[in-house]
Structure 1
Amino acid sequence: MDIACDTIGDTLVARVQATRIDAAIAIRFKDLMREVLHAPAPRIVLDLSKVDFLDSSGLGAVVAVMKLAGPGRRLELAALTPTVEKVFRLTRMDQVFTIHAQPPGIVRHAG
Structure 2
Amino acid sequence: MITLDQTAERVTLIAADCAELTATNATQFRRSILDLIEDGHSRIVIDLHQVTEVDSSGIGALVSLLKRIGMRGEMILCGMTEKVAQIFRLTRMDRIFPIQPDSAAALRALAA
Same-fold call, TM > 0.5?
Answer: yes
Counterpart of 1:85 in structure 2 is 85
Counterpart of 1:101 in structure 2 is 101
CA deviation after TM superposition for structure 1 residue 39, in Å: 4.5
Q: Where in structure 1 are there 5+ consecutive unaligned residues?
A: 107-111
Q: What fraction of aligned residue pairs are identical, expressed as a percent? A: 30
Taking structure 2 as the reference length, the TM-score comes to 0.85
Counterpart of 1:29 in structure 2 is 29
Whole-angstrom CA distance in 2 between matches of 1:65 and 1:29:
10
DSSP 3-state at the match of 1:37? helix
Equivalent residues, number = 105
Whole-angstrom CA distance in 1 between matches of 2:36 and 2:28:
12
Q: How does 1:40-59 map to 2 (within 5 A)?
A: 40-59=40-59
The structure that is helix-richer by fraction is 2
Counterpart of 2:5 in structure 1 is 6
Q: 4+ runs of 1 displaced by more than 2 Å? A: 38-42
CA RMSD of aligned residues (A): 1.7
Taking structure 1 as the reference length, the TM-score comes to 0.86
For residue 6 of structure 1, what is the amino acid of its counterpart? D
